[in-house]
Amino acid sequence: MHDVISLRTRDADHSGSSSIEGTLQVRLDAGGEAVTASMAYRLSGRSGLPLVLVLGGLNSNRAIEQWWPEQLGPKGPLDSRRYRLLSVDWACPQGRPERTLLTQDHAQALEVLLKRHDIARLHLLCGASYGAMVALALAERGQLAIRRLLTISGAHYSHPVATAARYLQREVVRLGAMAGFPTAGLNIARGLAMNSYRTRELFSERFPQADAAERLDSIQSYLSHVGNDFAARFSVERFLDLSESLDLHQVNPQGIDCPATVVAVDSDQLVPLSQMQALAGSLAGPTDFHCLQSPYGHDAFLKAHQAIAHVLNQCLEEKQHATA
């Protein structure tokens, strides 16, 4: 059962439109044991506009302009003058719970948040990467009227290869913490993750140096930079919780009957094309399928700006797609 503890809101100004930011505290029980968690959020745009729930990857937060700026604002599909936009920070457990927050837990928190704002219908439920997994969990629960679900590079379960890679990343982080070097563990784990996010072709293009020593130095500098940036924003506990949540994710596509659009990337090593095709073929409702060609692999939803904008516009404007 949901138990809302407190809700704090404040008016804000975001991209020229009225906005509400707040923090929801709630009891979540999808994992069989109740956990108290908080979820910060932002709700932008006038009340009465069609509601779009926007969920990104592990690094995303309620500030869409920080991680998806090309899709936001008057020049992008996600315009708060036309749509009411809801975005969140992933639910954060309070204290040191004994279990991981599942994608279903995040879905529960979203349901409570939407109910508190008297929202029962979503014009578009948009999720990418981890956000796509949470979006699928939310759709499977069937508590909301969802006009269209858009899932980008996020499937109904974690692919075994992705799970194996993340398990090793977590072990590195745990060893770093045990040795007294938590930041170093997070740094290395992020570097390992980058090898699965991006393609071989992209690495070859980024590091074309003919001299081996120069190439090694460039790669070390790059991975150190992205690792340090990641470690500055994540604690060990936060990383372990979200990483394991990815691997414990599982929904039944046949239990999702709202209209859906499934977007795969041909070069995605974490969520391969075959897995996204299987998802599209198993959903119970009418489903459209797109395969994007991009060298950016799993990060294509952040880098293939025009292709993603085209799909978003189609979903928002109810245009027809090719059926999977």
List the domains of the chain with CATH numbers: 6-155+253-317 (3.40.50.1820), 160-245 (1.10.1740.110)
CA 272 – CA 68 distance, rounded (Å): 22
State yes or no: pLDDT of 191 exceeds 80. Answer: yes
Q: 10 Å Cβ neighbour count for 222?
A: 15
Record the pTM. Answer: 0.93
CA 49 – CA 11 distance, rounded (Å): 18
Q: What per-residue confidence (pLDDT) applies to 14?
A: 44
In the predicted model, what is the mean pLDDT of residues 233-261?
97
Segment 291-309, tens digit of pLDDT = 999 999 999 999 999 999 9
At 212, the amino acid letter reads A
- Of 270, 245, 36, the closest CA to residue 133 belongs to 245
State yes or no: pLDDT of 1 exceeds 90. Answer: no
SS3 90: coil
Segment 105-146, tens digit of pLDDT = 999 999 999 999 999 999 999 999 999 999 999 999 999 999
- Of 82, 89, 112, 26, the closest CA to residue 312 belongs to 82
Residues involved in catalysis: 129, 268, 298
Segment 93-111, tens digit of pLDDT = 988 778 999 999 999 999 9
CB 29 within 8 A of CB 1: yes
Q: What per-residue confidence (pLDDT) applies to 8?
A: 56
Q: What per-residue confidence (pLDDT) applies to 98?
A: 80
Segment 25-82, tens digit of pLDDT = 999 998 888 999 999 999 999 999 999 999 999 999 999 999 999 999 999 999 999 9
More confident residue, 149 or 15: 149
More confident residue, 37 or 10: 37
Q: What per-residue confidence (pLDDT) applies to 96?
A: 77
Q: What per-residue confidence (pLDDT) applies to 266?
A: 96
Comparing 16-20, 55-59, 212-216, the range with the smallest average pLDDT is 16-20
Tokens found for residue 107: 């879905």
CA 252 – CA 48 distance, rounded (Å): 32
CB 147 within 8 A of CB 83: no
Q: What per-residue confidence (pLDDT) applies to 198?
A: 86
In the predicted model, what is the mean pLDDT of residues 269-277?
97
Share of residues in the chain with pLDDT > 90 (%): 85
Which residue in the block uniquely carries the two structure tokens 């349901």?
111
Burial of 273 (0-12, 13-18, 19+ CB in 10 A): middle
**Contacts of 312-320 spanning 24+ positions with Cβ under 8 A:** 312/71, 312/77, 312/78, 312/126, 312/150, 313/77, 314/261, 315/124, 315/126, 315/148, 315/150, 315/261, 316/52, 316/77, 316/83, 316/123, 316/124, 318/148, 320/288
Share of residues in the chain with pLDDT > 70 (%): 93
Q: How far is CA 209 from CA 187, 195, 225, 298, in A?
A: 24, 18, 19, 25
At 320, the amino acid letter reads Q
Dihedral of the alpha carbons of 96, 99, 103, 108, in degrees to the nearest 10: -70
- Measured N-to-C along each axis, helices 182-197 and 236-248 cross at an angle, to the nearest 10 degrees, of 40
- Of 295, 270, 286, the closest CA to residue 323 belongs to 286
